[in-house]
């Protein structure tokens, strides 16, 4: 890079570092058998594993550690309004004080609130979200608690959870016909970028490993 064209940088202290990851709606089973939906975006995938980060105090985390299974439902960009209806809610009752003070309320039926339809899963008890183009049935393989004393008044830090994907469901219109491949030109995930919802832009190219 020509040093004369190096962009100017500023030293800043952003309150959050959510640099842009897809919105995942984690479905889990509550103790009474009903379903919960946890919107989240701190997730990444490698091999057949997905690693998620969940802050303490949420119902989804409690359910996940008790049941050891869930469905990772990937939201489409067209679902942003429904996701935002879920955003200020928690399946936890009562909502922890720090969350209540931040504007969260308890919601028992998140499927109804979002207008989503539940589909039965094949390998786990938690239901899938029919509207999500990609649904990954998963089980917990590893979990580590990360207490953070200075975060949210020591509200419980966060947990790092590794999930093994057991079964993949994809809407037919995002699959390359006759193959096992997702067609990235037809798949339009919803991204969470510094607390804003963002859709995908046009496809720019592909890596040398792409098979389709």
Ligand X SMILES: Cc1cc2nc3c(=O)[nH]c(=O)nc-3n(C[C@H](O)[C@H](O)[C@H](O)COP(=O)(O)O)c2cc1C
Q: What residue ranges bind ligand X (CB under 6 A)?
A: 23, 36, 38-42, 53-55, 58-60, 83, 87, 90-92, 104, 192
Indicate the residue among 159 and 170 with the shorter CB distance to ligand X. 159
HEC profile of 137-152: EEEEEEEEEECCCCCC
Q: Give me the numbers of helices (H) and strands (E) for the chain, helices first please.
A: 4, 14
Indicate the residue among 185 and 194 with the shorter CB distance to ligand X. 194
85: CB partners within 8 A, 6+ apart: 113, 114, 115
Minimum CB separation of residue 12 from ligand X in Å reads 22
Minimum CB separation of residue 206 from ligand X in Å reads 27
Indicate the residue among 53 and 184 with the shorter CB distance to ligand X. 53
Question: What burial letters (b/e) apply to 118-143, b meaning 16+ CB within 10 Å?
Answer: ebebeebbbbbbebbbbbbbbebeee
Minimum CB separation of residue 180 from ligand X in Å reads 28
124 touches 114 (CB < 8 A): no
Indicate the residue among 122 and 193 with the shorter CB distance to ligand X. 193
Minimum CB separation of residue 117 from ligand X in Å reads 19
């Amino acid at each position: 890079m020509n040093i004369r064209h190096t962009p100017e940088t500023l030293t800043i202290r952003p309150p959050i570092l959510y640099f842009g990851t897809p919105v995942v709606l984690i479905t889990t089973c509550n103790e009474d058998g009903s379903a919960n939906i946890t919107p989240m975006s701190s997730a990444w995938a490698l091999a057949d594993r997905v690693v998620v980060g969940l802050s303490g105090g949420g119902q989804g985390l409690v359910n996940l550690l008790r049941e050891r299974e869930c469905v990772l439902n990937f939201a489409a960009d067209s679902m942003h309004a429904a996701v935002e209806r879920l955003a200020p809610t928690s399946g936890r009752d009562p909502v922890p004080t720090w969350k209540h003070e931040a504007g969260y309320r308890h919601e028992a039926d998140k499927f109804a609130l979002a207008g989503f339809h539940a589909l039965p899963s094949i390998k786990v008890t938690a239901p899938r979200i029919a509207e999500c183009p990609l649904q990954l049935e998963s089980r917990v393989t590893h979990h580590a608690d990360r207490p953070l004393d200075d975060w949210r008044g020591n509200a419980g830090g966060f947990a790092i959870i590794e999930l093994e994907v057991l079964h993949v469901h994809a809407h037919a219109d995002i699959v390359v016909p006759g193959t096992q491949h997702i067609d990235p030109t037809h798949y339009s995930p919803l991204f969470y970028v510094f607390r804003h919802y963002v859709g995908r832009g046009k496809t720019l190219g592909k890596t040398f490993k792409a098979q389709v």
